[in-house]
Amino acid sequence: MRTSLSTLVVLLVVSPSACTSKPAAQETTATASVAQGDPTAVRASIESANARFLAALQKGDTATALLSYTDDAVVMMPNDKAWTGRDAIAKGLAAFASQVTIKDGKATTSDVTLSGDIALETGTYEWNMVPKGGKPIHDVGKYLTAWKRQADGSWRIIRDINNSDMPAK
């Protein structure tokens, strides 16, 4: 259970260290730059999406977290079958949120590689999870997330995988 819980941060894919939203004017500018393939703007857009995702997880708001994924996304968590498609991801996120609360979550994008409408993000995470009725668990790990540019210029996750750096018990 501990291993599969710790890996959710990749969904978080998880990535920025702050959970604040950009003003609408800044989002419009970033989207316009992203449409032209500006790697800096793509990274900023992904980090902003990750901040919204992590903030939603910390609130237990799985419906908002689910908005980060495309309808045909695949999430690969350790010690679990792949969550393929929106329904499976929704069930996986709901199960996760019913089992633990995320505290002090932080995800950091290490690198974004851009190729056309696909961006590959690598990063690290650190957070404290509090299992329902259990003791807090401190976890650190890494993730790899594939993002796809949408028709409106936004980025959504198409593939997501992560794992903990902590030794197995």
Which domains does the chain possess?
Answer: 2-164 (3.10.450.50)
pLDDT of residue 89: 98
Q: What percent of the chain has pLDDT over 90?
A: 67
Kindly list the distances between the CA atom of residue 135 and the CA atoms of 34, 79, 99, in Å, as whole numbers in the listed order. Answer: 42, 21, 12
Q: At residue 14, what are phi and psi to the nearest 5 degrees?
A: 50, 135
**DSSP secondary structure letter of residue 150:** -
Rounded-to-integer distance, Cα 50 and Cα 36, Å = 21
Q: Comparing C-alpha atoms, which of 15, 7, 13 is closest to residue 159?
A: 13
pLDDT of residue 6: 39
Q: Taking residues 132-152, report their average pLDDT.
A: 95
36: confidence class by pLDDT, cuts 50, 70, 90: low
Average pLDDT, the chain: 82
Per-residue tokens: 5: 């819980």
End-to-end CA distance of the chain: 11
pLDDT of residue 105: 84
pLDDT digits (tens, 9 = 90+) for 60-114: 999 999 999 999 999 999 888 999 999 999 999 999 999 999 988 889 999 999 9
Q: What percent of the chain has pLDDT over 70?
A: 79
pLDDT digits (tens, 9 = 90+) for 46-57: 999 999 999 999
Rounded-to-integer distance, Cα 110 and Cα 135, Å = 30
Rounded-to-integer distance, Cα 5 and Cα 101, Å = 10
Tally of CA atoms within 13 A in the half-sphere of 20 that contains its CB? 4
- What's the whole-model pTM score? 0.78
Q: Comparing C-alpha atoms, which of 79, 64, 63 is closest to residue 21?
A: 64
Q: Taking residues 119-137, report their average pLDDT.
A: 93
Q: Count Cβ atoms below 10 Å from residue 78 Cβ, excluding itself.
A: 17
